[in-house]
Amino acid sequence: MLKLFYVPGSCARASHIALREAGAEFELRLVDFAAAEQRTQAYHSVNPKGRVPVLQTPAGVLTETPAILAFIAQTHPEAGLAPLHDPFAFAQMQAFNNYLCATAHVAHAHGRRPERWADDEQAQVELRMKAPGRFAECFELIESRLFVGPWVMGERYSVADPYLFTITQWLRINGIDRAGFSKVSEHYARMRERPAVQQTLEAEQA
């Protein structure tokens, strides 16, 4: 059986939603970041990166959200969570997911954990001040160029959608009004109506 290591509200939420959309059998394993469990030797034996998400599979351990989402889609083809028979469309989906992972998420992280990039306190202050603007710029690009609609890839829902939903929730943390991005806001509302999303939020709150 699959096992997802997660933290509520983290980027692991995208994988959590995707597993439910796929109808997969899986277990949830909460990682206690408040107690710094991610820094323990026991957790590093699972994921030496000390991050979430982690998906334990019969074939081994997977990390990084784009990889996990692709794996879920490919191992549950009946769920139709990716354009598996169209290499170019699949690559486009991967490009979107990697943009969220490598650019949008990193912009957010500079504001939340500036100590990763700077020891100087003033530099950390500047990173906190700069990060929300960079995060907003990411969503300006998503809104104007990358999002097709009504779902990320167009008419077909894919694993890119729970990932965008998850990252969109961080706009509020950065003091950014989601209403300023009409397409993203409409997507967020549609996602909230999906049973898999509702089940995920309920499970994480529990």
Q: What is the pLDDT of residues 53-104, one digit of tens each?
A: 999 999 999 999 999 999 999 999 999 999 999 999 999 999 999 999 999 9
d(CA 33, CA 55): 17
Give the Å distances, CA to CA, from 76 to 19, 71, 164, 172: 9, 8, 20, 33
Predicted model pTM: 0.97
Q: What is the pLDDT of residues 148-197, one digit of tens each?
A: 999 999 999 999 999 999 999 999 999 999 999 999 999 999 999 999 99
56 membership: H or E segment, kind and range: strand 54-57
What is the set of domains in the chain, with CATH numbers?
Answer: 2-80+198-205 (3.40.30.10), 87-194 (1.20.1050.10)
Tokens, residue 7: 């933290």
